[in-house]
Chain A
Amino acid sequence: MNGADAIIKCLEAEQVSVVFGYPGVAICPFYNSILESPIRTILIRTEQNAAHAASGMARITGRPGVCAVTSGPGATNVITGIATAFADSIPLVCITGQVNSELLGSDVFQEADITGAVESFVKYSYLVRDVKDIPRIFKEAFHIANTGRKGPVLIDVPIDIQNASLEKFHYPEEINMRTYKPTVKGNMAQIKKVVRELERAKRPLICAGGGVLLSEAEQELRAFSKEYRIPVVSTMMGIGVMPTKDPLYFGMVGNNGKAYANRAMNEADLLIMVGARVADRAVNQPEVITRNKILVHIDVDPAEIGKNAGPSIPLVGDAKHIFADLAQEEFSCDTAEWIHTLEEYRVSMAPKRNPNPDYVDPAAFITLLSEKMQANGIYVADVGQNQIWSCGYHIVREGRFMTSGGMGTMGYSIPAAMGAKLAAPDRQVIAVCGDGSFQMSMMELATLRQHDIPVKIIVMKNNYLGMVRQYQHFTYKDHYSVVDLSGSPDLEKLVSAYDMPYLRLESMDRAEEVLDRFLAKDESMLLECVIDPMDLV
């Protein structure tokens, strides 16, 4: 057995079923050994998307996604994907090939100091110096990636280490790291304080972030909200924690969110932020959520608490544990009046749009799509205007909503949808992107075809980098700079080159019929929706 064989054994021990990647000489021993394994390999068309696909898979399975790329440019290309996962706390294990150990530091062909380069975007990284360390390092890497605040871990393996022989393979059962013991159980005294404040509160509100989904605490949070009649809003990453139509759910907060959700945040007298970073897009003015109210901040990462807003009650721990503990407490909360007020806001402050009838109205289209897609379908929104419309109008029932929230990485949707589909072959997976973001990942159409992964793609075409155009419209009085997407390919011709079916929708008139055809079969298909280039989110 050599080091590469040992790596494969580790991946098997971690029940990895798919590796996304792109080979090169420095990772060839790994790709040679994986042929003997039942682990499926997916040849992605650019390394960044290997990390996105692994991220899409991780979000659905709840286990780390795995990608493996070569040294030098392979490794540096994957950095944006790793940074995207890091910003959204998605567990990944990224394996990079590296030049021969003896040549490290001598700037030979395809050498890049990847552990150095990626330091600010990983939870941890390893450079393997001894083949005997492989089992321990992989055991630790999977543990680190998927516990505490989840995130990407990178393992850089020089080619000579992959080729070195290992006499005995033993995958450790225990982890022994003196520096890493994340707190998952909340402090009971703090939990009791929260309960006391809840009893006193007249206008309590829960703001759920992506951390709730990462800790798989949706059911606990929903049950808690229902039992005590506490309304819920969410951040972009927290969309789907509550079903969109749940009477106690009052939408996404933030500068791209619902006005009534923001008003709820401002008027609450007790705000429970859970699994949310209090970053600028969700909470534009952190002082607003600490003024005139009790702020409870629940997060598994103690460094998030107090980073952007000083809470009255900090509560470190995993959301699932904390809501389970809160459910054990007995108290009552009278929120009928508060909920009534919020319901009135939801009606009076509903967004008003004036759609141009000559085009597809993204809002109406997305709502219709949500109604027609499978209840447990997975909706992956890309980045740009399409993302904001998706956040605003997609209706989550029993499915998932995924997007690159923290980093806002264009091109995320197609590879992430690919990963999600591999994780859940029985569920419908739809990637919704703009014509800008589509062109950042359109090379993956080949991957979908090659590996027969049926992902549905919707491209909202407006011939602009719409989000930036909108910004230039407001900030620079329509002084447009470098946002015109002229020269984009004819998508019908493009997908036919990949032997993929194509549909086009130019107005809402035929929307029902076209969507029915689009969703009829579990096969890859691209639907192009022509939207008004001047439309605003």
Chain B
Amino acid sequence: MKKKIYSVLVENRSGVLCKVAGLFSRRCFNIDSLAVGETDAPDVSCMTIVSSGDQRTTEQIEKQLNKKLDVIKVKTFEEGQCVNRELMLLKVKYNKSNRREIMEICEIMKAQIVDMSKHYMMIQLCDEPERIRLMLGMFQSFSIVEVARTGTLALCKCAEND
């Protein structure tokens, strides 16, 4: 099962997300992660979809995406060929005895504490998906209240012929 990242430029219209997501579910393609946002052109959105499957499946995903009439362009790449990032917000309950440890982990992981109250703090981490998973693992021993993640964003690495 190979992991592939599809960077899909689509018309920024209502219903397009539904059509693309529907295509994946209908044809039994996996979606490991999905992130959507506007690009520099307001009429174009970029969907970053992480999926996995054998070669035939990953080829079909690209072809079926290209077949959709709201899809402008599909770029497919593997994790090594791109810079990928994910943003996570994590809310934990802390106490006197573990506060120091939490702050140390944040320092090591280069995470920021973006909000806090007497018993809770919110931590932000923007990093590669692998490191987000690592961070979550580190926090399993603390009492996590809520987690929100964006899904992977990715762009192909810079090349002079871009």
Contact = CB atoms under 8 A, between A and B. Distances in A.
Given A116-B18, A178-B72, A310 B56 contact: yes
A303 B11 contact: no
Interface in A152-184: 177-180
Contact of A303 (B26, B64, B69): B64
Nearest to B10: A179
A308 B147 CA distance: 41
Q: Which of B15, B67, B70 has the most CB of A within 10 A?
A: B67
A180 B15 contact: no
Interface stretch (A119-127, A208-216, A411-419, A509-517): A119-127
A179 B69 contact: yes
Interface in B31-88: 56, 59-60, 63-64, 66-72
B63 A302 contact: yes
A108 to B, nearest CB: 20
B24 to A, nearest CB: 12
Nearest to A178: B72
A526 interface: no
Contacts of B66: 302-303
B56 A306 contact: yes
Given A115-B15, A306-B59, A180 B69 contact: yes
Interface residues of B, number: 18
A307 B15 contact: no
Contacts of A179: 11, 68-72
A296 interface: no
A27 interface: no
Contact of A123 (B64, B69, B72): B69
Nearest to B67: A303
Contacts of A303: 60, 63-64, 66-67
Nearest to B64: A303
A119 B26 CA distance: 11
Interface of B is mostly: helix
Contacts of A144: 69
Contacts of B64: 303
Contacts of B67: 301-303
Interface in A98-137: 115-116, 119-120, 123-124, 127
B3 interface: no
B110 interface: no
A211 B70 CA distance: 24
Given A179-B72, A310-B56, A119 B22 contact: yes
Nearest to A124: B69
A177 B70 CA distance: 10
For the side of the interface on A, what is the size category? 10 to 19
B99 interface: no
B19 interface: yes
Contacts of A123: 69
Q: Which of A124, A179, A180, A301 has the most CB of B within 10 A?
A: A179
Contacts of A307: 56, 60, 63
Contacts of B22: 119-120
Contacts of A302: 63, 66-67
Contact of A177 (B19, B26, B60, B69): B69
Contacts of A310: 56
Contacts of B26: 120
A303 B68 CA distance: 11
A178 B10 CA distance: 11
A513 B35 CA distance: 70
Contacts of A177: 69
Interface in B81-138: none
A116 B19 CA distance: 8
B45 to A, nearest CB: 13
A536 B18 CA distance: 45
Contacts of B72: 178-179
Interface in A259-310: 301-303, 306-307, 310
Contacts of A116: 15, 18
A309 to B, nearest CB: 10
Contacts of B71: 179
A39 B19 CA distance: 34
Q: Which of B19, B26, B66 has the most CB of A within 10 A?
A: B19
Given A119-B22, A178-B72, A303-B67, 7 more contacts: A116-B18, A144-B69, A177-B69, A179-B70, A306-B60, A307-B56, A307-B60
Interface of A: 115-116, 119-120, 123-124, 127, 144, 177-180, 301-303, 306-307, 310
Please list the 4 inter-chain residue pairs (A to B) with the smallest Cβ-Cβ separation, ordered nearest first: A303-B63, A124-B69, A303-B67, A179-B72
14 contacts: A116-B18, A120-B22, A144-B69, A177-B69, A179-B68, A179-B70, A179-B71, A302-B66, A302-B67, A303-B60, A303-B66, A306-B56, A306-B60, A307-B56
